Amino acid sequence: MLQEIKEILTLQKREIEIKLKEKYIERNQNLKLNNDLIKVIVGPRRAGKSFFAIHFLNKQGKFGYVNFDDEKLVEIENYDEIITAMNSVYDNPKFVLFDEIQNLPKWELFANRLQRQGYNLVITGSNSNLLSRELATHLTGRHLLTNIFPFSFKEYLKFENKELITSEIKEKLSLYLLNGGYPEILSKKVELKEYLSNLFNSILYKDIMKRYKIRNPKQIENLAIYLISNIANEYSYNSLTNIGKIKSSHTTEKYLNYLEESFILFSLKRFSYKVKEQLSSNKKIYCIDNGFIQAKAFKLSPDFGKLYENVVACKLKKEEIEGNLRFYYWKNQQQEEVDFITQEGLKVKQLIQVCFNIDELDTKNREIRALIKAGKELRCNNLLIITEDTEKEEKAEWFGDKANIKFIPLWKWLLE
């Protein structure tokens, strides 16, 4: 068995050597290796977690690598054989990278033991809840968390490796809005729909259906595609249950949690100071990357308004995961809406409307009216409208309530 493990790890080592020769875009995150804490990297499949880790570790010197996406490794009962084989293949490395570790049964106990034995561990995983639950239970205070997502627009532009003028940045934004930021689409020029459809199916099968033994896989697949086709729209569990012909809203909620854990979708709560009201209100749905919308949504043509809003939601979500803010949407009894409100501590920090085309007067007035009303109710005067191309500040008034509103193009906001 030991020899078989060595052969698997030797093949994986060759794959790593090939990856290290490929073009690499520096990510905005960092790994702090000068401590004995377990370094945990989480994020969607194929977002670049292992690529980030191997390039970072390669600068530090010798490191060992084990990828647990290999079913033969996951079936091994004696984990010490994995360590023996790794030490042999990599000559007792200083740092160890375990990829997709959530596939390994009782991985958290294994990681804990190795950390106590003095191994400097970096681990990656593609299931947010599974990892966070086990980390909270077994690795409390003994790990550092880093999040890697598909390229932000700032990282996406780095691939050009040169200074771009404004017209070029806008051109790149048009591509980013449609294609999203999955690294291999940019670096290997793969066919977007085929690549992302295969990735989507892999996530559904490996990270959800197989792990949770879903009896009716078609239901969760239909639910995911319906939601991706209705990005930035409100939903309730009851409405999704009826649309998807699912047996209960409890099952629908469970399915949606699985989709969120696997980083395909995320939900946004409606803002309220009352927790009960916040929990009972409809949520809005967003997708972790615009490319999935292009690849999987039932749309005859792109809805740039929704694509703009989804890109903004993704950036805010990353900020939230990093612990910099919390964000919600706002809606009053008159059904007037503000796309996003950000909160730091107990204070509402900013109100954001996303409007692809602000030139139409009725649209502009509707967006401004909702901002002013929300600003008054939430005592916030930091009001922003993200647009296609408008950049200015404007004083606005609605029935005696005055406000100063900032307009900014999406590309500029994304690069801030």
pLDDT digits (tens, 9 = 90+) for 353-387: 999 888 888 889 999 999 999 999 999 999 999 99
Domain 151-304 has CATH 2.120.10: no
Q: How is the chain split into domains, by residue range?
A: 2-148, 151-304, 325-416
Residue 341's pLDDT is: 98
Residues of the chain under the 70 pLDDT cut:
128-141
Residue 292's pLDDT is: 96
Q: Tell me the C-alpha distance between 302 and 177, whole Å.
A: 10
Residue 103's pLDDT is: 86
Residue 158's pLDDT is: 92
Are the CB atoms for 60 and 91 separated by under 8 Å?
no
Residue 31's pLDDT is: 82
pLDDT (tens digit per residue) in 158-179: 988 889 999 999 999 999 999 9
Are the CB atoms for 313 and 286 separated by under 8 Å?
yes
Report which DSSP code applies to 270: B
Residue 112's pLDDT is: 87
Q: Tell me the C-alpha distance between 311 and 120, whole Å.
A: 36
**Domain 2-148: CATH superfamily, name plus number:** P-loop containing nucleotide triphosphate hydrolases (3.40.50.300)
Residue 298's pLDDT is: 86
- Strand partners of residue 402: 397
C-alpha triplet 411, 415, 416: angle, nearest 5°? 120
- Sign of the alpha-carbon torsion through 80, 81, 82, 85: positive
Residue 161's pLDDT is: 83
| Long-range CB contacts (within 8 A, 24+) of 268-272 | 268/313, 268/327, 268/328, 268/329, 268/340, 269/328, 269/329, 270/328, 270/329, 270/330, 270/331, 271/328, 271/329, 271/330, 271/341, 271/343, 271/378
340: buried, middle or exposed (CB in 10 Å: 19+, 13-18, 0-12)?
A: buried
